[in-house]
């Protein structure tokens, strides 16, 4: 009888692991779908750069007014020279 109880316990454990795995996969899928659906056009527009796309390997400075107001003269000089800024 002891072997029978072990088999029942093993089956219960395996079944609960299977149900838990399926439930976890469903919840994970639902959260990723909800997260992607929460993206709005305003959020997409906020992350889209206002400057034209640069060629690969070419430095393209950030010339937005908000960025320009916070940068130092040394950084602006490097950007104007086409260099990747090394100063804050």
pLDDT value at residue 59: 73
Q: How far apart are CA 36 and CA 29, in angstroms?
A: 11
Please check the confidence at residue 76 and state whether its pLDDT lies above 70. Answer: yes
pLDDT grade, residue 78 (50/70/90)?
confident
Q: What is the pLDDT of residues 10-63, one digit of tens each?
A: 999 999 999 999 998 888 887 777 766 666 544 555 555 555 555 666 777 778
Nearest in space to 68 (alpha carbons), one of 58, 59, 79, 57: 79
pTM above 0.75, yes or no: no
Give the pLDDT mean for 1-11: 90
Nearest in space to 62 (alpha carbons), one of 79, 86, 83, 46: 79
């Amino acid at each position: 009888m002891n072997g029978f109880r072990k088999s029942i316990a093993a089956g219960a454990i395996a079944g609960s692991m299977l149900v838990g795995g399926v439930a976890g996969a469903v919840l994970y899928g639902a959260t990723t779908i909800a997260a992607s659906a929460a993206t709005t056009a305003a959020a997409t527009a906020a992350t889209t750069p206002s400057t034209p796309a640069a060629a690969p390997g070419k430095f393209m400075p950030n010339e937005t007014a908000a960025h320009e107001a916070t940068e130092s003269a040394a950084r602006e000089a490097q950007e104007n020279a086409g260099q990747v800024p090394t100063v804050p």
